[in-house]
Amino acid sequence: GDGAAAGSHGYTSSGYSVYEEENERLTESLRTKVSAIKSLSIEIGTEVKNQNKMLSEMENDFDSTGGLLGATMGRLRTLSRGSQTKLLCYMMLFSLFVFFVIYWIIKLR
């Protein structure tokens, strides 16, 4: 009777030990995966902060460009409100300037 009880108790202990080892292995695997996910989420957070900073800088650049474009459009409106002769004269002078620049570039080759 004692031999069977001792054998049964030994089997229970070894079975418990196998389950305990399996649990430890799974816990370590889970700990490794959680650590990897944590570092990945930290990297994602850093990247999001950098992207937000870049977007903010781009927004500022677009705002300043919009202001510059608005000022240029205002000058063009002022120019177009003047006499048509003045506008035609400016266009001719600009065309001549472009012509001479192109002529000069071709001559240098």
Contact 9, 15 (CB under 8 A): no
Q: Which of 35-44, 52-61, 66-75 has the lowest mean pLDDT?
A: 66-75
SS (H, E, C) 46-85: HHHHHHHHHHHHHHHHHHHHHHHHHHHHHHHHHHHHCCHH
Q: Is residue 70 in some structural domain?
A: yes
Q: Which of 53-57, 82-86, 101-105 has the lowest mean pLDDT?
A: 82-86
Q: Is residue 103 in some structural domain?
A: no
What integer is the mean pLDDT of 74-81? 74
Q: Is residue 94 in some structural domain?
A: no
Phi, psi of 69, rounded to the nearest 5 degrees: -65, -40
pLDDT of residue 15: 66
Q: Which of 20-24, 31-35, 37-41, 80-84 has the lowest mean pLDDT?
A: 80-84
Q: Is residue 45 in some structural domain?
A: yes
Q: What gap in Å lies between CA 103 and CA 101, rounded to an integer?
A: 5
Domain containing 31 equals 13-82
pLDDT of residue 5: 47
Q: Is residue 96 in some structural domain?
A: no
Q: Is residue 78 in some structural domain?
A: yes
